[in-house]
Amino acid sequence: MIIQFVKRPLQVGRWLLIVTAFAAANGADVPRLPSGTAAAHFPIADSTEMPAPAVQPVTYSALLARVTPAVVSVFPARMIKESAEEGPLDRFFGRSKEESDKERERTQGLGSGVIISSDGWIVTNSHVVHLANGKVADAISVELSDRRRLPAEVAGVDPATDLALLKIAATGLPALPLGDSDAVKIGDLVFAVGNPFKVGMTATMGMVSAKQRTIGINGAGGFEDFIQTDAAINPGNSGGSLVDASGRLVGINSAIYSGTGGNVGIGFAIPCNLMRQIVMRLAEEGKVVRGFFGMQIEEVDADSATVAKLERIQGAKISVLMDGGPGAKAGLLAGDVIIRAGGRPVETRAALRLALSLVRPGGELEVEFSRAGEHKKAALVSMADPDAKERGIFELASLPGVKFRAGQDGLIVVSVTPQAGRKTQIEAAMEILEINGQPAATVSAAEAALRRGVNKVKARAADGERTLAVRIE
């Protein structure tokens, strides 16, 4: 039996991993908070204000009565144009066939979301608000605990962390207080609340099994720091809440580890502190722009730890530095092992990647590193990512989720989201040589060669040339 990670909303007729890139619109109709106000709008709850859990409580009904109304069901939908046959009444009333054609909303899945402020801001997963074709849903509605269903606007999404922020036009809503997920400990009691399998709002109980989990489900370009729990999480729970015994939000349920598609006691939630930092950016700017540090890092092994004279295996080792990049300007050298970033310990490569990902272009991050046993400090000042200008990164409209740059013989795949990879079999570092027998040396040539249906794609990979069958919807 193949064990696989599962991250998805409940689908209509089938389940499908939905993760793709999306750039939020900057139009006036997209809800925004004034710059600099998001931190106050989404505050971390003061632990002294929260009722302490009873010692050995007989029931958690009072806690769940406070928590459950703040969790909503999220319905992504696709607009389908349905053609109606012209009938005798249409002729009688003077309606043409074109006037009888209607665009109808068809629900494509189900997920959950959490109200984090009383004026209608809702956080959910990025993969919940995307359709099977890799694009953001044409329409999204949320169902509240009082059964009202309201339209929601997508304020922004960040596929790299699998988070999305929605806004509904409502006030006076029950909202969950945000807890400090850094204070959560292994063994703490937690509750998962969401709408699994469309059965209705459901609460399950478990404990924190582990922290700082990296499972690779957000792809090579993603950032992960999951809380692991054995509280039952199933399809439809995506985007729902993970709360502590005081009713504070400590995580957003995102994925499960399963060979069947159902819960086996290994679930993953995005920590609340990470969620809050991303949500503040989405609420004010509609997107998350990350800084560039001009260095490649790798895991520390026993040999690296010995060379750096570390007491144990920890940190992230710098393997390559870009000449003139932020890392080099800060005085770092290849072989240095970074052991702290932003005042926090760095245990793994993933932990440093996450810390770097939260720095805006022009922002500063203080790091502590070990060089042959000598501990040093440096201030890294990030720059804007030069990829788009220097390497000409682009996407093809027919292949959302796949980024290319021009190569010598064709188009080189720079990155591909997990959902696009599963659907197309395209992998990062491949060079697309031909599409349906036509050379794919330029963007226009590739776009002209692609067609709806199955496309025969000739690609060059590290192990040789391959022929892929890529379906375009």
Q: Where are the domains of the chain?
A: 4-47+60-285, 295-381, 391-472
| 162 assigned to active site | yes
Name residue 295's amino acid.
M
DSSP code string of 251-298:
EEEEEEEESSSS--S-EEEEEHHHHHHHHHHHHHHSS-PPPB--EEEE
Check for a shared fold between 4-47+60-285 and 391-472: no
> Which of the residues 127, 230, 244, 336 is marked catalytic?
127
Q: Residue 82's pLDDT is what? A: 59
Residue 352: in which H helix or E strand, if any? helix 349-357
Query: HSE of 426 in the Cβ direction (CA atoms, 13 Å)?
Result: 28
- Enter the CATH code of domain 391-472: 2.30.42.10
CATH number for the segment(s) 295-381: 2.30.42.10
Q: What are phi and psi of 275, to 5 degrees?
A: -55, -45
CA dist., res. 99 & res. 116, Å (int): 42
- C-alpha 168: how far from chain center: 21
Report which of 367, 373, 368, 352 is spatially closest to residue 306, judged by C-alpha positions: 373
Q: Do residues 73 and 110 lie in contact, with contact meaning Cβ atoms separated by under 8 Å?
A: yes
Please state, in angstroms and rounded to a whole number, the distance separating the CA atoms of residues 22 and 136: 7
What is the pLDDT, as a whole number, of residue 51?
Answer: 64
The torsion angles phi and psi of 181, rounded to 5 degrees, stand at: -70, -20
Q: How far is CA 421 from the centre of its chain?
A: 16
Q: 405 by DSSP, 3-state: which?
A: strand
- For 379, list phi and psi in degrees, rounded to 5: -105, 110
How far is Cα 335 from Cα 445, in angstroms, rounded to an integer? 43
Beta bridge partners of 75: 141
For 241-250, letters b (16+ CB in 10 Å) and e give bbbbbbbbbb
CATH number assigned to the domain with residue range 4-47+60-285, chosen from the 4 options 2.40.50.140, 3.40.50.2000, 3.30.390.50, 2.40.10.120? 2.40.10.120
Q: What is the number of H-type helices and E-type strands within the chain?
A: 11, 28
* Residue 176 near residue 115, CB atoms below 8 Å: yes
Measured between alpha carbons, how far is 59 from 53 in angstroms, rounded to an integer? 11
Provide the residue-wise pLDDT of the chain in tens; the chain has 473 residues: 334 565 645 544 333 233 333 334 445 578 899 999 999 999 988 766 666 665 666 799 999 999 999 999 999 998 776 555 555 555 555 555 554 455 667 777 899 999 999 999 999 999 999 887 677 888 999 999 999 999 999 999 998 999 999 999 999 999 999 999 999 999 999 999 999 988 999 999 999 999 999 998 887 678 999 999 999 999 999 999 999 999 999 999 999 998 877 788 999 999 999 999 999 999 999 999 999 999 999 999 999 999 999 999 999 999 999 889 999 999 999 999 999 999 999 999 999 999 999 999 999 999 999 998 899 999 999 998 775 444 467 788 888 888 887 776 788 887 888 778 888 889 888 889 999 998 887 777 888 889 888 999 999 887 778 999 998 87
Q: Residue 254 and residue 235: Cα distance in Å, rounded?
A: 10
Point out the catalytic residue in the list 162, 225, 244, 336. Answer: 162
- Coil vs helix vs strand at 168: strand
The catalytically annotated residue of 238, 241, 258, 304 is 238
Report d(CA 123, CA 276) in Å as an integer: 9
pTM passes above 0.85: no
Phi, psi of 100 (to 5 degrees): -80, -20
Q: What is the pLDDT of residue 279?
A: 97
**pLDDT score, position 50:** 63
The strand pairing partners of 345, in sequence order, are 340
